[in-house]
Structure 1
């Protein structure tokens, strides 16, 4: 065996160990992210000037936003990120709620297509209406990135998180592939956002 082969083999082992170590750190970071999402609970006493619900996945986020405004937790609800072809009647059918609440207290935002778009749409609406304290309704696994992105767009407005458990469930990573995939993709986006 040549003397030159030993350092190469040692370097190869060190490289493999480093890769395994980094992958282990990523796995731990992902699991901690999922655990935080799975254990998030809204403050039952929460109140705000208004409420914003981010669309996505199902009507559960929207239904929760309508419920909160019906309870008087905020004076008005913005549903951000609604597809341009979707009407208020479509949303009422999807999410339910009192038609009078929809008529008086719900604004539909059609401009946003991404979380960054949600942030821009929400900031414009909040500043135009003079709101200072918003309840943010989105999925529990989507909340961490949403708070970062929306707070960056409106740093002088307080955001109160109201996480919703939706079809992607961070507490069922190992029994539901759809949840594992959805939470993993959101973790990757969140981690990139924290590094920007």
Structure 2
């Protein structure tokens, strides 16, 4: 009488090892996917859906260029007495104050007396560095931060890391498209949010490493020599 060989007994060890490794990889990918999904949901929870007046007044106001109506909203806050001066950070080097004044004809006096332009910043990190310099030169201990709602989490990470001694009060600008229809119905908005989430996570990781004494990207990297000029009217689409 012949016996059929036991499949398990004759299964090659290499094949069993590959099956175990495949299971570990799939389990790891599942954990990463769940982690990213939970993190993205947490990121979305940080985003305001409506504009809310700042909780309090501050010494100064800073607006990070790169989105529609950010500067006009910041000017309204300045006119309302929410801050003594306004810094517009990330203005293109070729843009003069007159270019901004033409777009804000109702705020000529404020533009002349109480607005400073930063033309050096090329990204959110250098926005933070230039804002720190401006705030410290003027002795400001509190700032209202004006930027788009999707950009606010990353902006606060960079600004709070650059200025731990300055109190930051966020004012999130909510675009018309965001208010008019759900973000998940527009592919461009979904891509924007995913991209911003990745940048936010990268900024959080870099800041945490820097706080631990491991700065992989020194601040000087914000101003690389020979870097291409940013697009007109803004340093970067923050």
User: What is the TM-score when the length of structure 1 is the normalising length?
Assistant: 0.89
Q: Could you tell me how far apart the structure 2 residues matched to 1:168 and 1:192 are?
A: 27
Q: Could you tell me how far apart the structure 2 residues matched to 1:191 and 1:128 are?
A: 31
**Could you say what the CA RMSD is over the residues aligned between the two structures, in angstroms?**
2.2
Q: Look up the match of 1:73.
A: 82
Q: Is residue 100 of structure 1 aligned with residue 143 of structure 2?
A: no
Deviation of residue 123 (structure 1)? 0.9
SS in 1 for 2:185: coil
Say which is worse superposed, 112-121 or 14-23, in terms of deviation.
Answer: 14-23
Measured at CA, do residues 146 and 73 of structure 1 come closer, stay the same or move farther in structure 2, by a change above 3 Å? same
Unpaired segments of 5 or more residues in structure 1? none
Q: Specify which of 16, 25, 31 is matched with residue 26 of structure 2.
A: 16
1:109-154 CA deviation, whole Å, 9 max, x = no partner? 1110111111111111111111111111111111111111111112
Q: Look up the match of 1:142.
A: 151
Deviation of residue 194 (structure 1)? 1.3
Q: Specify which of 179, 189, 192 is matched with residue 179 of structure 1.
A: 189
Q: Could you tell me how far apart the structure 2 residues matched to 1:150 and 1:96 are?
A: 30
Measured at CA, do residues 10 and 40 of structure 1 come closer, stay the same or move farther in structure 2, by a change above 3 Å? farther
Native 8 Å contact 1:51 1:78 kept in 2: yes
Q: Specify which of 131, 156, 165 is matched with residue 174 of structure 2.
A: 165
SS in 2 for 1:123: helix
Q: Could you tell me how far apart the structure 2 residues matched to 1:43 and 1:56 are?
A: 21
Q: Look up the match of 2:201.
A: 191
The alignment covers a number of residue pairs equal to 195
Q: Could you tell me how far apart the structure 2 residues matched to 1:40 and 1:6 are?
A: 56
Name the larger-Rg structure: 2
Q: Look up the match of 2:127.
A: 118
User: What is the TM-score when the length of structure 2 is the normalising length?
Assistant: 0.74
Q: Look up the match of 2:57.
A: 47
Deviation of residue 14 (structure 1)? 3.1
Deviation of residue 94 (structure 1)? 3.4
Deviation of residue 106 (structure 1)? 1.0
Q: Could you tell me how far apart the structure 1 residues matched to 2:119 and 2:30 are?
A: 44
SS in 2 for 1:37: coil
Say which is worse superposed, 176-185 or 120-129, in terms of deviation.
Answer: 176-185
1:33-92 CA deviation, whole Å, 9 max, x = no partner? 02321447545442001100000032x111111000000110110000100111222223
